[in-house]
Amino acid sequence: MPKIVDHELRKKQIAEASWRVIQEQGMEGATVRNIAKEAGLSLGALRHYFSTQDELLEFAMNLVIERVTKRIKKIALKELPPKEKVLQILLEIVPTDTESMAEMEVWFSFVAYARHKEGFDAQQDRIYDGIRNLILYLDQERILRKNLNKEMEMERLYSLVDGTAMHALLEPKRLGKDQIYELFVYHLDLLCVDEV
């Protein structure tokens, strides 16, 4: 009886193999040959799933987005005070553990690689839209301080998240999970009134 292959699972395994190659060798090493070897596949088998390197890398990056989005949606459904909910979501966007560190390293490598490609859209990570929604959520919950320039606060929080992600990736001993947590709490305290 022929072996039944879950093609979607196989594609995810290949994408994860590409993450490992990128982490170990950078984007220069993320060749189809190296990724196939890491995934334990022949070049022909890999090409059955992805006909080009760009197609594979795009799928790998979309998988990062999908996983982060899934974790954020799980938090959004929890019954939490609004500020705590926003804090937990922010902590999912930046690297605070081994899994998110790998995702962030791969993401930054991909962005640096893809920005010179035709059709590259810097906003495809949807982080700015997510940050915007968090600020609007705090405002809707009536805990955002009065007279804040919401557009400016969206930009400032977006910059804080991006900068924190970069520094956490480059200097994890200096900026670990506890420091990131304190930084985001501090910032949210500046944005919000005390919850009743």
pLDDT digits (tens, 9 = 90+) for 71-112: 999 999 999 999 999 999 999 999 998 888 888 888 888 877
Residue 132: HSE in the Cβ half-sphere, 13 Å Cα cutoff: 6
Instruction: Report pTM.
Output: 0.84
CB neighbourhood size of 68 (10 A)? 21
The pLDDT, as a whole number, for residue 2 is 59
Is pLDDT at 178 greater than 80 in this prediction? yes
Cα separation, 12 vs 55, in Å, equals 13
Under a CB-based contact definition with an 8 Å cutoff, are residues 162 and 94 in contact?
A: no
User: Locate tokens 């220069």: which residue?
Assistant: 28
The pLDDT, as a whole number, for residue 123 is 53
Amino acid at 8: E
What residue spans define the domains of the chain? Answer: 7-191
pLDDT in tens, 19-40: 899 888 888 888 899 999 999 9
The CATH number of 7-191 is: 1.10.357.10
Cα separation, 2 vs 15, in Å, equals 25
DSSP alpha helix (H) spans, the chain: 7-25, 32-39, 43-49, 53-76, 82-93, 98-114, 127-140, 150-170, 177-191
Can you name the residues that pair with 144 across neighbouring β-strands?
192
Cα separation, 148 vs 153, in Å, equals 7
CA-nearest of 10, 62, 61, 59 to 36 is: 10
Average pLDDT, the chain: 89
Those residues whose C-beta lies under 8 Å from the C-beta of residue 7, and which sit 6 or more positions away, are 49
The pLDDT, as a whole number, for residue 164 is 96
Amino acid at 6: D
